[in-house]
Structure 1
């Protein structure tokens, strides 16, 4: 931010009860080459009303009839107005000046030495405009992040809807056609007597059966119907299937009681577990995965730990690490977040989702009581 030009017309509010001192300050600013519209007010009510207008800065005396310059400064703070405030007084102690600076004053000067007034005014305006520009940039960045977050959430929802639609089409069209074809082939197998034809029909039936199994597997991956039985049942099914497919030992720990969760939460937890297990099978070189699901003080926690080779910090910071970013965005759609840590002894992923309005505060309080909380464990080991 460049310094305000001396040719720029400045509007300055002068809080001063002395007409002579007002004239001296106007002369000093004019002598410095500044074009200033200097408006004098000497009552707090008038100042409060004037703050509805646009001003470049405020110059205020310290002692005024019935109020002080610090009250004007406090009025600015109450109104959340970012205006340069310069305190000019003939009788102000060092302690008072320091207190004014801590409260938010831009500078302070003595009336018997106004040579520094113009530079101080320009510097205060420059600093104020720079701060105002920074705050606006921060607001724009927050708005941009919010829009990106909303877009990511919309994309996640759209993906799930598209997956559900594809799963229905596979079930209704592909699955139905394959089943009908299998019935026809079975009819042929019963009505032909030539061994060669029977062998070819049996081979075709086996191929169709494999296609039906593949379509069912694809449907489960697209839209897991097992979730209708609850998140615990879905995790048990996923863990057992993962163990059979990869040979990696899976230990699942879940609460005994039935979990009541808002709509969308079970699917988010399921997808996070699915993505984590996929990464374990592809990259971790692990022999064991521990999955723990818990619900405490209105906060759902899903943790997956493996004993693999871990992830290097540069892996987490890769430009194209969209899987990890997708986990964060997916969790954010239900107000949750993901913590990912990795070391020589493996990788840990923790999904946290507050299910109640005051759950976040309870999480923060729970951090201070972690040792006491660790002594109580209401969950049991589930059988796969």
Structure 2
């Protein structure tokens, strides 16, 4: 017969207090009760031990056992590590309500002992369902692992980029900035010593160009890794607001709940980059006349909100927006935070960053901190 030949390649664990019922089930399946394919246990402790000792493809359990039910065995099975075998309830006296409850709680199927001829077909169907479920779980686990690895890689790349930006900022500030300052001093001496009008004119023109170069190098340093962050996130965002207003002419108001907000260095950097990217996008696309920046640390949460009164920006537009706003959500998640973009009535957009000041238990950030 087809079914017994297939079943002989499986390992079946039969939880059954009655040896007679066990023999009847083996007969219905065309199996020898002494075969290694099928094994009977009659206590919950023995059931748990056999689950621990070996791998089984199918568990068939009587509903009413001595001192427990099939649902108690099901709970034991759920608590076991590793792959779960298909679980079928086989009963003579269980009620319809008990049968429905067994399937609702996760059993693959319910078979009456009076219809043992159907058991082989039910077992094969349960095996197929179990294989599909296992494949789905494996696929989901693989996908979750891939996402986690991708997140870790992105975070590592961001960290490398920030370190590189910091190194370049130091290089520009110390070497190029120092050279430009020395050159400015020499040009100042030339201007004082120059007698010829043409020489003085060229020296003054060179000095103006040099002032422009010094200003550009300072802006580059601030964009790459601002030294103002060493004074804390409040001072850094305040500087951003003032610089934005001076550069664009857009009225910019900054408020903070405290003069100093204590936050981890990675959180401060994410907040600064978020404010920097938001202001860059506002300057290029919002067409606004006012910007408000609010920074707070209530309820152990750092919250940064940048609001303009210009053209509304919807989340659907983000893929079309410049790279300044792309990736802010992913950057926020590296410190357990989240980013929200909200419209303010008929005009204006708010970009809101919320980051817990205490790392979330079990998060990637917590794991990273524990490793360091």
Q: Do they superpose with TM above 0.5?
A: yes
1:210 aligns with 2:212: yes
Residues 284, 48 of structure 1: alpha-carbon distance in 2 compared, 3 angstrom cutoff: same
1:181 aligns with 2:183: yes
Contact 1:9/1:36 (<8 A) preserved = no
- 2:369 corresponds in structure 1 to none
- 1:44 corresponds in structure 2 to 44
Distance in 2 (CA, whole Å) between partners of 1:229 and 1:257 is 11
Distance in 2 (CA, whole Å) between partners of 1:264 and 1:234 is 14
Distance in 1 (CA, whole Å) between partners of 2:213 and 2:200 is 20
1:253 aligns with 2:231: no
Distance in 1 (CA, whole Å) between partners of 2:350 and 2:130 is 46
Distance in 2 (CA, whole Å) between partners of 1:7 and 1:194 is 107
Please show how residues 47-66 of structure 1 align to structure 2 within 5 Å: 47-52=47-52, 53-66=54-67
- 2:370 corresponds in structure 1 to none
Contact 1:299/1:359 (<8 A) preserved = no
- 1:335 corresponds in structure 2 to 336
Q: RCO greater where, 1 or 2, for CA within 8 Å and sep 6 or more?
A: 1
- 2:166 corresponds in structure 1 to 164
Distance in 2 (CA, whole Å) between partners of 1:321 and 1:47 is 61
Distance in 2 (CA, whole Å) between partners of 1:245 and 1:6 is 78
Partner-residue secondary structure (3-state), 2:215: helix
Aligned length: 352
Partner-residue secondary structure (3-state), 2:234: helix
Contact 2:293/2:304 (<8 A) preserved = yes
Contact 1:300/1:355 (<8 A) preserved = yes
Contact 2:12/2:59 (<8 A) preserved = yes
- 2:138 corresponds in structure 1 to 136
Please show how residues 1-384 of structure 1 align to structure 2 within 5 Å: 6=6, 9-30=9-30, 37-52=37-52, 53-79=54-80, 82-317=84-319, 322-342=323-343, 344-356=346-358
Unaligned runs of 5+ in 2: 363-372
Q: Higher mean Cα deviation, 97-106 or 193-202?
A: 97-106
Distance in 2 (CA, whole Å) between partners of 1:74 and 1:316 is 47
- 1:370 corresponds in structure 2 to none
Partner-residue secondary structure (3-state), 2:11: strand
Partner-residue secondary structure (3-state), 1:17: coil
Partner-residue secondary structure (3-state), 2:261: coil
Distance in 2 (CA, whole Å) between partners of 1:73 and 1:267 is 50
Distance in 2 (CA, whole Å) between partners of 1:303 and 1:325 is 17
Partner-residue secondary structure (3-state), 1:51: helix
- CA root-mean-square deviation: 2.5
Distance in 2 (CA, whole Å) between partners of 1:351 and 1:112 is 64
Contact 2:8/2:37 (<8 A) preserved = no
Q: CA deviation at 1:308?
A: 2.1
Partner-residue secondary structure (3-state), 2:94: coil
Contact 1:63/1:89 (<8 A) preserved = yes
Distance in 1 (CA, whole Å) between partners of 2:269 and 2:124 is 58
Distance in 2 (CA, whole Å) between partners of 1:41 and 1:237 is 74
Q: CA deviation at 1:68?
A: 2.8
